[in-house]
């Protein structure tokens, strides 16, 4: 009986070490991805009317958006999904982007990483719109 208890404890310790190392590796990857996010300015005057999908996944935080453009203005941004830990307050950044008509907005304090991921998803949607324009002018 004592032997099985020792084996069980050893298995728990090994499992904890494996899980811990996986978690630490994912956390390091997540921090690297977040630190490398840059958001360039995008010229809305070159984007045609339409709804454009964009997403960004930073392992622990992810977002998927639909961005609606009308008359070269962002008229609506729908947050289709937002995987976050404590980053739910970052959702208000969407209103700031629509109001400012720019991705050059301040991140939300306390939800900085989620703010960056949402911004990157919106940028990716607008970049896909620019790619469509480029493809239609250069067949």
82 closest CA partner among 61, 100, 98: 61
Edge-to-edge strand ranges of the sheet holding 50-57:
50-57, 62-70, 73-83
Distance CA 110, CA 53 (A): 26
- DSSP output for 111-129: -HHHHHHHHHHHHHHHHHH
- Kindly report the pTM of this predicted structure: 0.84
- All structural domains of the chain, each given as residue ranges with its CATH number in brackets, are 44-137 (3.90.1010.20)
Per-residue pLDDT at 15: 92
pLDDT tens per residue, range 82-93: 998 778 899 999
List, in order, residues 6 or more apart from 92 with CB less than 8 Å away: 108
The token duo for 116 is 């960056």
Distance CA 78, CA 51 (A): 10
Per-residue pLDDT at 86: 77
The token duo for 73 is 């203005």
């Amino acid at each position: 009986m004592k032997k099985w208890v020792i084996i069980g404890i050893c298995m728990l310790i090994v499992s904890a070490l494996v899980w811990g190392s996986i978690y630490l590796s994912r956390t390091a990857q997540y921090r690297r991805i977040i630190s490398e996010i840059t958001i360039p300015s995008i010229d809305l005057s070159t984007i045609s009317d339409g709804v454009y999908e964009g997403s960004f996944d930073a392992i622990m935080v992810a977002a998927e958006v639909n961005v609606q453009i009308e008359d070269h203005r962002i008229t609506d941004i729908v947050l289709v999904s937002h995987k976050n830990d404590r980053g739910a307050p970052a959702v208000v950044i969407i209103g700031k982007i629509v109001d400012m008509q720019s991705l050059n907005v301040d991140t939300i304090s306390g939800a900085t990483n989620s703010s960056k991921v949402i911004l990157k998803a919106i940028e990716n949607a607008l970049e896909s719109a620019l790619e469509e324009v480029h493809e239609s002018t250069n067949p």
